[in-house]
Amino acid sequence: MKKNSILTRHNTTGWLFASPGFGLMLLFIVIPFILAIAFSLTNQRLMSPNAAEFVGLENYTNMLDVGILVVDPEIDASGNILVDKNGDNKYPRLRKFTRNNPDYPNVQGMKEWFSFSWGVQKIAIMASDLVFMKALVNTLTFVAFVAPIQGALALILALLINQPLRGIQIFRSIYFMPVVVSIVVVSLLWRFIYDGQNGLLNSVLNTLTFGHFKAVDWLGNQDTALGSIMAMSIWQAVGFHMIIWLSGLQTISPTLYEAAKIEGASPWQTFRYVTWPGLRNTAVLVVIVITMQAFSLFAQIDVMTSGGPLDSTQTIVYQAVERGYGKQDISGGSAMSVVLFLLVLSISLLQRYLTREKN
């Protein structure tokens, strides 16, 4: 490699070919991202007459700090534990501890994330940036549901349209149609579908159950909002992954199916022992692509819920934009972006590790 490598080494040519693309990516993705990292270490504002100052990891600690608060129940003069009308122990309000209470500096300004009982005491997990924590959990939930469900549905659709039926191309193209429609447009349309009073979904369900279905305010209800957005996101993107699966299906040799038929395999056995093993690499690709797309959930939230109700649809990217642009806190928004990047990076490395070729 040291000497005489001009035939198989093409430093100049290689760079000449790669540099337009690579250079543009450095300039327009890598440098802005490095800038974002730099911002996250300062108190940079979107607009301000004041110069930014280096603040170290303050933005990260403000965002990620959690604390634990152990609360004793309220007792009356005789030492009995007070109970509320449901018969549960009554606890003092946490704002007593978190607001200007010098005895509890570790939870100063924090909010209750969740809590549980431990004996008579209540243990509260406190977060300094509760909205970010919720956004983090929601994002992970979204990924955890959407990646497998969308992948599986896409596979089922791919199997369906891989049948040798007359006119199957028509179905194929219909299933793909939502992919070509802008997500902003799709989100606007689905607001009508999810509407709580006279939405299409409610009226369809109402008809199907002969009036027994009680209308649900899909986007206005904490329990259904994120799920509704998941369903719509899957609806919009599943066609794309269907095609990727289809491409994988078409690489499986028909002779394998013939062999399975001769061996008398049931459809499930055929899938289990012929189709699925043949889709290994496709599966890796599908899962990775869906995961990455799911992590950048933004437009749907922006158009449909703005993160509500009660933060049940906050996501990291939405928060990063809201914080950085809406509230003009670039440094905070950038810190979120960096955390998201590290999160996705570690998850994709983990995925790659788990799906590595074992031999």
Partner 1 sequence: MFRLDKDNPTLRLIVRYMVLTLIALIFVTPILFMMMSSLKPDQQLLADTSSIRAFLPIGDISFDNYKAAFERAPIGMFMLNSLLVTGVTVVLGLLVCSMAGFSFVFLNWRGKSIAFSIILATLIVPFETIAIPMLLMVSKLPWLGLDGFSWGWLNSYRVQIIPFIADGLTIFLFAQYFKDLPKELIEASRIEGCSWWQVYWRVVMPLSGPIIATAAILKFLAMYNQYLWPIMVTQQEQYRPVLVGLQYFFQLNTAWGEVMAYLTIITVPVLAFYLALQRAFIASIASTGVKG
Partner 2 sequence: MADLQLKSIEKNYGSTRIIKGVDIDIKDGEFVVFVGPSGCGKSTLLRMIAGLEDISGGELTIDGKVVNDLQPKDRGIAMVFQSYAIFPHMTVRENVGFGLTVSGVPKDEKVQRVNEAAQILQMEHLLDRRPSQLSGGQRQRVAIGRAIVRNPKVFLFDEPLSNLDAALRMDMRMEISKLHKKLDATMIYVTHDQVEAMTLADKIVVLKDGEVQQIGSPMELFHKPANRFVAGFLGSPSMNFVKVKVVAHDNDSITVSSDVIDEVVLPRHDRDLAIGDSLELGIRPQYLEPHHGEIKGSMHGRVSLSERLGTETVLDITLADGNKVIASINEDKVFEVDEEISLHFDVDNIHIF
Partner 3 sequence: MKITKNLALTLLSAGALGSAFVSTCAFAKTDLSLWYHGAGNKVEAKVINQIVNDFNRSQSDWNVVLESFPQGSYNDSVVAAALANNLPDILDVDGPVMPNWAWAGYLRPLLIDKNKIADFLPGVKGYWDGKLYSIGLWDSAVAMVTRRSTLNEVGARIPTIDSPWTEEEFNGVLKKLKATGKYDYPLDLGMAESGEWFPYAFSPFLQSFGGDLIDRSTYKTAEGTLNGPEAIAFGEWWQSLFVNGYAPGNSQDPADHETGLLEGKYAMQWYGNWAALKTLNKFGDDALFLPAPDFGHGPKIGAASWQFGVSAASKHPQGASDFIEFALQDKYLAAFSDSLGVIPPTQSAATLTTNYRQGGALSVFYVLSKAQALVRPVTPGYIVEAKVFEKALADIADGADVADTLDSAADEINADIEKNRGYSR
Near partner 3 in 109-148, by CB under 8 A: 109, 111-112, 130
Please state the closest distance from residue 5 (CB atom) to partner 2, in A: 5
β pairing state of 111-118 and 121-127: antiparallel
Binding to partner 1, residues 35-64 (CB under 8 A): 35-36, 39, 46
Question: Where on the phi/psi map is residue 112: left (φ > 0), alpha (ψ -120 to 50), or beta?
Answer: beta
Query: How far does Cα 51 stand from its chain's mean position?
Result: 35
Please name the residues in contact with 220: beta carbons below 8 A apart, sequence gap of 6 or more. 196, 309
Among 45, 122, 134, 172, binds partner 1 (CB under 8 A): 172
Binding to partner 1, residues 337-356 (CB under 8 A): 337, 340-341, 344-345, 348
**Can you name the residues that pair with 83 across neighbouring β-strands?**
89
- CA-based radius of gyration for the chain: 27
Query: How far does Cα 159 stand from its chain's mean position?
Result: 27
Find the part of the chain contacting partner 1 (CB under 8 A) among 70-78, 143-151, 198-206, 259-267. 198-206
Q: Does 8 bind partner 2 (CB under 8 A)?
A: yes
Query: In terms of CB distance, is 7 or 180 closer to partner 2?
Result: 7
Phi, psi dihedrals of residue 29, rounded to the nearest 5°? -125, -50
CA-to-CA distance for 320 and 298, rounded, in angstroms? 10
Alpha helices per DSSP H over 50-94: 58-64
Stretch 292-311: interaction string toward partner 1, x if CB under 8 A = x--xx-xx------------
Find the part of the chain contacting partner 2 (CB under 8 A) among 4-12, 31-39, 41-49, 102-110. 4-12
Query: In terms of CB distance, is 9 or 96 closer to partner 2?
Result: 9
Please state the closest distance from residue 295 (CB atom) to partner 1, in A: 7
Q: Label residue 313 exposed, middle or buried (CB < 10 Å: 0-12, 13-18, 19+).
A: buried
CB neighbourhood size of 44 (10 A): 25
CA-to-CA distance for 307 and 321, rounded, in angstroms? 12
Binding to partner 1, residues 6-35 (CB under 8 A): 8-15, 17-18, 20-33, 35
Q: Does 253 bind partner 2 (CB under 8 A)?
A: no
Asked if 279 contacts 248 with a C-beta cutoff of 8 angstroms, the reply is yes
Find the part of the chain contacting partner 2 (CB under 8 A) among 6-14, 66-74, 109-117, 315-323. 6-14
DSSP designation for 99 = S
Distances (CA, A) of 318 to 118, 131, 191, 323: 35, 11, 18, 8
Find the part of the chain contacting partner 3 (CB under 8 A) among 47-55, 160-168, 254-262, 270-278. 47-55
Find the part of the chain contacting partner 1 (CB under 8 A) among 116-124, 154-162, 217-225, 304-312. 154-162
Please state the closest distance from residue 50 (CB atom) to partner 3, in A: 6
> DSSP of 270-296, one letter per residue?
HIIIIIHHHTHHHHHHHHHHHHHHHHT
Q: Residue 76: what residue type?
A: D
User: Among partner 2, partner 3, partner 1, none, what does residue 243 contact (CB within 5–8 Å per kind)?
Assistant: partner 1
Please state the closest distance from residue 6 (CB atom) to partner 2, in A: 6
Binding to partner 2, residues 9-48 (CB under 8 A): 9
User: Among partner 3, partner 2, partner 1, none, what does residue 3 contact (CB within 5–8 Å per kind)?
Assistant: partner 2
User: Among partner 1, partner 2, partner 3, none, what does residue 99 contact (CB within 5–8 Å per kind)?
Assistant: partner 3
Q: Which residues in this chain contact partner 3 in the complex, by CB under 8 A?
A: 43, 45-50, 93-95, 98-99, 109, 111-112, 130, 191, 195-199, 217, 219-222, 306-311, 322, 325-329
Q: Which residues in this chain contact partner 2 in the complex, by CB under 8 A?
A: 1, 3-9
